Amino acid sequence: MATEQALYDTAIAFINAFATLEANSHISLRAANCTHIFAPSSIKPPQPMTNEDFAAHLIKLHTIATGFPVTAKEIHVNFPKRQVIIWASAVLNFREELKGLKEGDDGKEWDYVGEYMFLLDVDEEGKICRIVEFLDSLGTERVRVLIAKAWKNAGASEKLF
């Protein structure tokens, strides 16, 4: 059975895995049947993702970004329920070559910081079995525009979500 410290450590490992967008770093923390749910529904988020779906999502994101470092503002462990709530901010680091900057551009339009809440349910083996990710409503709309620009600059017509 997981301890309170183990739940906290899982939360730290979870947010640290975003730094490089390495899919295996995320999947190694999850139970085989883990579901990643995005909210709120008002922003028309992606459908819930399996581990395979989320790994593919990260691989696509990694083609236009080098990382998505997440910084915890608060972490709350509910030990009896084996749940962790993380309130965090995150920065999407777009690849420089995809920004399409011209001489004299400061690139500030590509600066993105979003605010997020993660609810992690952890099973008895210490693996994350359910993730509910609350996205920054205003930030998500802005980052969708930047992602579309990055895909266009990469010469692709991909959609991330």
44 belongs to a structural domain: yes
Range of the domain at 132: 4-153
Q: How many CB atoms lie within 10 A of CB 156?
A: 13
pLDDT (tens digit, 9 = 90+) per residue, 44-99?
899 999 999 999 999 999 999 999 999 999 999 999 999 999 999 999 999 989 88
Predicted pLDDT at 157: 60
159 belongs to a structural domain: no
Number of domains present in the structure of the chain:
1
Model-level pTM?
0.90
Whole-number Å distance between alpha carbons of 141 and 82 = 32
Q: Please determine, for residue 111, whether its predicted confidence score (pLDDT) is greater than 70.
A: yes
142 belongs to a structural domain: yes
| 102 burial via Cβ count (<10 Å: 0-12, 13-18, 19+) | exposed
35 belongs to a structural domain: yes
132 belongs to a structural domain: yes
Counting residues of the chain whose pLDDT is more than 90, the rounded percentage is 73
| CATH, residue 65 | 3.10.450.50
Buried b (16+ CB within 10 A) or exposed e, 4-36: eeebbebbeebbebbeebbbebbbebbbeebbb
125 belongs to a structural domain: yes
As a whole number, the mean pLDDT across the chain is: 92
Confidence of residue 158 (pLDDT cuts 50, 70, 90): low
